[in-house]
Amino acid sequence: MAELLLVEDSDDLRETLAFLLRREGHQVRTATDGAEALRAVAESEPDLILLDLMLPQVLGTEVCRQVRSHSDVPIIVLTAKNSEADIVIGLELGADDYVTKPFSTAELLARIRSALRRRPRPDGPADKLSAAGVVMDVERHRVTVDGREVQLPLREFSLLELLLRNAGLVLTRQQIIDRVWGSSYFGDTKTLDVHVRRIRAKIESDPARPRRLLTVRGLGYRMEE
């Protein structure tokens, strides 16, 4: 059972989703606007946030930005917008995934399960990975680059973990999506591109000329050893 924060200003959709999620065994708190959502997170951080982008008082994009500034809680954006630019903005602000309305219940639940499976276990035994000056303590959810700690939200962390575990090997885009987002992922590869770009901004001295996380044209990505 996980505690979810559902942020949605449509009464009908909010009540329907809350009912479905509780039926799945989750605890669900709700918020109807961005200001209420920020207060709810400050009071008690949930295990996952379902966040509508178009909210009164404080936009969902600003909620995402503020939450991500201090927390790596998984955020799944719910949006009626389906243009590439709107989706990329949400991902650039730190969202882990997105679902565009209208969406199926099966799709949403699959995304939630995928995100919750990747929650860190801070009290577990140490499992450390390293390559190209990047060191990851998997169980404690910590990453350092040349000795400097960097913060990664859950999806970026999972993606970097996969690349570190396969340092020196080329992983195709489809392999990465299947293993990080799951084989039942409904979206397209622009989500992967945005997450790679965000990781490079944190681990590369010059993200425009990466030396650690490389693109293998026509295939996918490779983490240098």
> In total, how many domains does the chain have?
2
Residue 145 forms part of a structural domain:
yes
Domain edge (last residue) among 117, 136, 164: 117
Domain presence at residue 148: yes
Condensed to tens digits (0 to 9), the pLDDT of residues 87-130 reads 788 888 889 888 888 888 888 888 898 888 766 555 555 578 99
Give the pLDDT confidence of 125-170 residue by residue, as tens digits.
557 899 999 999 988 889 999 999 999 988 899 999 999 999 999 9
Q: Are residues 168 and 216 both part of a single domain?
A: yes
Tokens of 74: 């998984």
Q: What amino acid is encoded at 76 in this protein?
A: I
The residue segments making up the domain with residue 14 are 3-117
Q: Is residue 123 part of a domain?
A: no
Is 154 found in the same domain as 99?
no
**Residue ending a domain, choose from 117, 149, 180:** 117
| C-beta of residue 118 within 8 angstroms of C-beta of residue 152 | no
Rounded Cα–Cα distance for residues 109 and 185 (Å)? 11
Residue that finishes a domain, picked among 83, 98, 117: 117
Same domain, 133 and 199: yes
pTM: 0.68
Is 150 found in the same domain as 77?
A: no
C-alpha gyration radius of the chain: 17
